Amino acid sequence: MGIVTPGFRGRPRSSGPELPPGQYLTEDFPVLSAGPTPRVPMDRWEFVITTETSREHRWTWDDLMALPSETPTVDIHCVTKWSKLGTTWQGVSLDTLMSDVDTAADYAFVHSYGGYTTNLPLADLLDGQAWVAFKFDGEDLHPEHGGPARLLVPHLYFWKSAKWVRGIQLRFDDEPGFWETAGYHDYGDPWREQRYQGD
């Protein structure tokens, strides 16, 4: 008679996909909101990049749709500790939007319909790291998740991926945004667990 219990395979070597420290895996898509969901008529929607010399680059919705888009599949990490893996989006790369923008700025101050703001280094929006996303999972982005379009910067905590994005102001200084002025980290790298000021 063998001494090995049938079916006993020991402890799994891995408890699942690797997550940033302090995060747990979720399969659904929690809605976080700091205010009422703004409704923007599509014929009045616009996205504006303003340089440090006040030069404005504007796109209407039709302009945005006419640009080449990408379909990134990325992991997203919320500072409230949920992570969602393998999310699929469609959006226009910030590299495309910035291609004709002449700037020497180091920082981006992102603003949204409804008044939300957030800040990050301009370098984190470039080199295939960020999109203005308008579809999630093949469907138009739901207003609760930031539709018609939101910023998508998946390598930083998800509060940097501003819902209802309206524009980006390019600056020499790092102006803190909505959560950054209330205790949250100016950069927000989930792998370094930069949740709060001082982390």
Partner 1 sequence: MTDPHLDGNALAGPLREIFAVDVTAATSRCAACGLSGAVAALHVYPNAPGMVARCPGCEEVVLRMVRTPDAAWLDLRGAVSLRIPM
Tell me which residues touch partner 1 (CB under 8 A): 30-37, 79-80, 115, 159, 179, 181-184, 195-196
Shortest distance, position 159 Cβ to partner 1, whole Å: 6
Q: Which is nearer to partner 1, 21 or 36 (CB)?
A: 36
Smallest gap, in angstroms, from Cβ of residue 171 to partner 1?
21
Residue 57 or 155 with smaller CB distance to partner 1: 155
Residue 196 C-beta: closest distance to partner 1, Å: 4
Least distance (Å) between residue 118 CB and partner 1: 11
Task: With H, G, I as helix, E, B as strand and everything else as coil, classify residue 61.
Answer: helix
30 vs 128, which CB is nearer to partner 1?
A: 30
Contact by Cβ (8 Å): 98, 49: yes
The DSSP secondary structure of 141-163, one letter per residue, reads PPGGGTTT-EEE-TTS-GGGS-T
Report the alpha-carbon distance of residue 50 to residue 180 in Å, rounded. Answer: 21
Strands (E) located in 39-164? 46-50, 56-60, 73-77, 82-93, 107-112, 117-121, 131-136, 139-140, 150-152
The residue (of 17 and 115) whose beta carbon lies closer to partner 1 is: 115
Strands 165-171 and 131-136 come out as unpaired
